[in-house]
Amino acid sequence: MAEIVAAAAAVHAPQLLSRPPYEELDKLDTSTDALKQFAAVLDETDPDAVLVIGIDHLETFWLEAVPTFTLVISEECEARYTHFSRRKKVHTDLAVDLLKGVIAQDFDLTYSQDAELGHAFLTPFEYILGDRETPVIPLLVNSYLPPLPSPRRCYALGRAIAKSLESRPERIAVIASGGMSHFPGTARYTAPNYEFDRWVIQEAAAGRYDELLDLTPVNLDEVGESELLTWFVMLGIIGDVPGTLLSYQELSHHGHGVIQFAPPLAAKADGPVPGDESVPRHGGHIFAQDDYVYYRFPEPSSLPLNKFLRRVITEGDFRTAFVSDRDATIDAGGLGEKERAALRGDGFDDLVELGAHPLLALSAWQVVKNELSATS
């Protein structure tokens, strides 16, 4: 039977890669130090494969198809963010067995043999796996294009994965690559729910997950925690074990958390103590939304604008043209007057108002800002 020798939940913020000068660099350093601390665990445990559970920021899949769960089964995979990239060998034999085993349990799972991954995978590839030759198995969870899977459905997928591993001999590490509270690209970008993060950390320290699993996708949207869906898949694989906080950083727009679940660690003196109930349920938050507010279903009428933004993010030549001659690039885009005006403005709020997906609006703004900074 396969053995889970290491497991962690890990922040993957793109700023950890690009390190823009306007960020709090000391906090970025603390987050990457925690990722490297877990990297040392891989040296100690020497896994045969690393299952990396990440999300898609509309970098891998596009609106022609939005799969809920996707296993990447190719000989190699590449993760990219702007000019940063890393290639990793995929443990295809194990990945194929996982696919067949999960589907045999009546759990539908998409697979891809030609997926380009984004920064949710590149960040752990860079700071945890580094130059190690350990093969990976990438698994994507839809976290930003409603309708989303529930926490309990993600947990059930994890249980199905654990069962399909029963016949395998490998030693496996699991990385759940997902945020803590943040609202990228929305009007709440600078208002994360840090108290909800502290409650999640408190529950993890106690190995207590029922109330987290009872949350709905709309609840997660309300507190900026949809990326916790990757955590719930991991918990289904490893069981309801307590976690130890390696680092938590409050940035102006994001709670950066790194928590190790396996092998177990003694609680740190300055970390949450198992059984500590100092943070109230849900961090004191009272849920009020009855539908998605921050990451809504993308209406088909917004496709041309979203397609333009995706080109800015993923196509280097198009982005360079946009930066060097914004007006000409916008005018050639076949967009309406309001969309063209919003693209000429600063920030991303007007784009979101017009139907742009917040992640695309923010990511386009970030990569353009980074390119302008690099050329100035």
Q: Examine the pLDDT at 375 and tell me if it is beyond 80.
A: no
Q: Examine the pLDDT at 269 and tell me if it is beyond 80.
A: no
Sort 277 into a burial class: Cβ within 10 Å, 0-12 / 13-18 / 19+: exposed
Q: Examine the pLDDT at 300 and tell me if it is beyond 70.
A: yes
Q: Examine the pLDDT at 331 and tell me if it is beyond 60.
A: yes
Give the whole-angstrom CA distance, residue 9 versus residue 113: 26
**Which of 299 and 346 is assigned the larger pLDDT?**
299
- pLDDT band (50, 70, 90) for residue 314: confident
Q: Examine the pLDDT at 319 and tell me if it is beyond 60.
A: yes
Question: CB-hemisphere CA count at 13 Å for 10?
Answer: 37
Segment 2-25, tens digit of pLDDT: 999 999 999 999 999 999 988 999
Q: Examine the pLDDT at 57 and tell me if it is beyond 90.
A: no
Residues 144 and 57: beta-carbon distance below 8 Å: yes
Number of residues assigned to the chain: 376
Segment 228-238, tens digit of pLDDT: 999 999 999 99
- pLDDT band (50, 70, 90) for residue 366: confident
Q: Examine the pLDDT at 246 and tell me if it is beyond 90.
A: yes
Give the whole-angstrom CA distance, residue 99 versus residue 107: 10
pTM above 0.95, yes or no: no
Q: Which residues of 211-220 are buried (b: 16+ CB within 10 A; e: fewer)?
A: ebbebebbbb
Give the whole-angstrom CA distance, residue 324 versus residue 332: 14
Least confident of 77-91, 150-164, 346-360: 346-360
- Mean model confidence pLDDT for the chain: 94
Mean pLDDT, residues 82-102 taken together? 96
Report the pLDDT value the prediction gives residue 376, as an integer from 0 to 100: 67
Question: CB-hemisphere CA count at 13 Å for 279?
Answer: 22
Q: Examine the pLDDT at 183 and tell me if it is beyond 80.
A: yes
- Give percent above pLDDT 90 in the chain: 84
Report the pLDDT value the prediction gives residue 275, as an integer from 0 to 100: 62
Report the pLDDT value the prediction gives residue 286, as an integer from 0 to 100: 98
Report the pLDDT value the prediction gives residue 159, as an integer from 0 to 100: 98
Mean pLDDT, residues 286-314 taken together? 94
Q: Which amino acid is at 102?
A: V
3-state secondary structure of 72: strand
Instruction: Tell which CATH classification among 3.80.10.10, 3.40.50.150, 3.40.830.10, 1.10.10.60 matches the domain 3-284.
Output: 3.40.830.10
Give the whole-angstrom CA distance, residue 164 versus residue 159: 9
Report the pLDDT value the prediction gives residue 349, as an integer from 0 to 100: 86
The H or E element that residue 141 is part of is: strand 136-141
Report the pLDDT value the prediction gives residue 43, as an integer from 0 to 100: 96
Q: Which amino acid is at 127?
A: Y
Segment 111-137, tens digit of pLDDT: 999 999 999 999 999 999 999 999 999
Mean pLDDT, residues 87-105 taken together? 97
Query: How, if at all, do strands 254-262 and 3-10 pair?
Result: antiparallel
Q: How many H-runs (helices) and E-runs (strands) does the chain carry? A: 15, 11
Q: Examine the pLDDT at 270 and tell me if it is beyond 80.
A: no
The structural domains of the chain, with segments of one domain joined by +, span 3-284, 300-375
- pLDDT band (50, 70, 90) for residue 372: confident
The tokens for 148 are 């989303």
Mean pLDDT, residues 337-354 taken together? 91
